[in-house]
Amino acid sequence: MNCAFFVSGRGSNFSAILEKKKSGELNINIELVVSSSQNAGANEIARDENIDVFVVNNENQSEILPLLLSKKIDLIILAGFIKKIPDEIIIAFRDKIINIHPSLLPAFGGKGMFGENVHKAVIERGVKISGLTIHIVDEEYDNGKILFQKAVEVLPNDTPQTLAKRILTQEHDSLWRVIKEFSKKYE
Ligand code: GRF
């Protein structure tokens, strides 16, 4: 199964996937990383593995779809990608794009709900159980069919940072499992 990862930041989820690939627990080809930032940590991680990195901006956005098609991508994984995916890609890859989100959707999702904003809103609201969601990407932010969720308790003294860290640990142990389910079709 040929995969493309879309990233914007440090890339810890992407790293966790590379580890699972190296350990032999996950059998996929990582053909491409699309990054929305020139300085994303994930770009370096990819280049160290000799994976092509395409840094997207407003001018070259239309080049992504031909690139995905030329690399025969089967599954697109949004691992901390903060930009909206162009509709033409969603249409061409219907049900073949997944996203990981650090809350129990449909709560605390949608436009602007990324990174620390999510955990800050969760704590301010007094929510006792948060977690993570892996879902299919459609035309609306954080809206598609839910494939996987894991609950994480919000502790009385949690800050957005401590909660984010505990959820991230669970993200690293979750995303590869969903990708593995997809990959079974290609074995
Ligand atoms: C993760 O919390 C993920 O759920 C969210 O963005 C963050 C990405 O972190 N969509 P990283 O770049 O994988 O470390």
Per-residue pLDDT reduced to its tens digit, 79-119? 999 999 999 999 999 999 999 999 999 999 998 999 999 99
21-54 burial by CB neighbour count: b if 16+ within 10 A, else e? Answer: beeeebebbbbbbbbbbeebbbbebbeeeebebb
Per-residue pLDDT reduced to its tens digit, 12-66? 999 999 999 999 999 999 999 999 999 999 999 999 999 999 999 999 999 999 9
Q: What is the pTM of this model?
A: 0.97
So what's the pLDDT on residue 27?
Answer: 97
119 is catalytic: no
What's the gap in Å between 92 CA and the centre of ligand 1? 25
So what's the pLDDT on residue 187?
Answer: 79
Tokens representing 146 are 């839910």
DSSP state of 11: -
Cα distances (angstroms) measured from residue 42 to each of 54, 76, 106, 150, 170:
12, 16, 27, 24, 19
Q: Are 90 and 138 in contact (CB under 8 A)?
A: yes
* Dihedral sign for Cα atoms in the order 63, 39, 1, 166: negative
What's the gap in Å between 99 CA and the centre of ligand 1? 10
How many of the other CB atoms lie within 10 Å of CB of 19? Answer: 13
**Ligand 1 pocket by Cβ (under 6 Å):** 9-14, 79-80, 100-102, 168, 171
| Neighbouring C-alpha atoms within 13 Å toward the C-beta of 164 | 13
What's the gap in Å between 11 CA and the centre of ligand 1? 7
* Identity of the amino acid at 74: D
Sheet bearing 146-153, strands edge to edge: 53-55, 29-35, 2-7, 75-78, 97-101, 129-136, 146-153
Q: Which atom of ligand 1 is nearest to the CA of 99?
A: 10
Q: Which atom of ligand 1 is nearest to the CA of 15?
A: 13
Residue bearing the CA closest to ligand 1, atom 12 = 11
Q: Which single residue is written with the structure tokens 């779809």?
A: 65
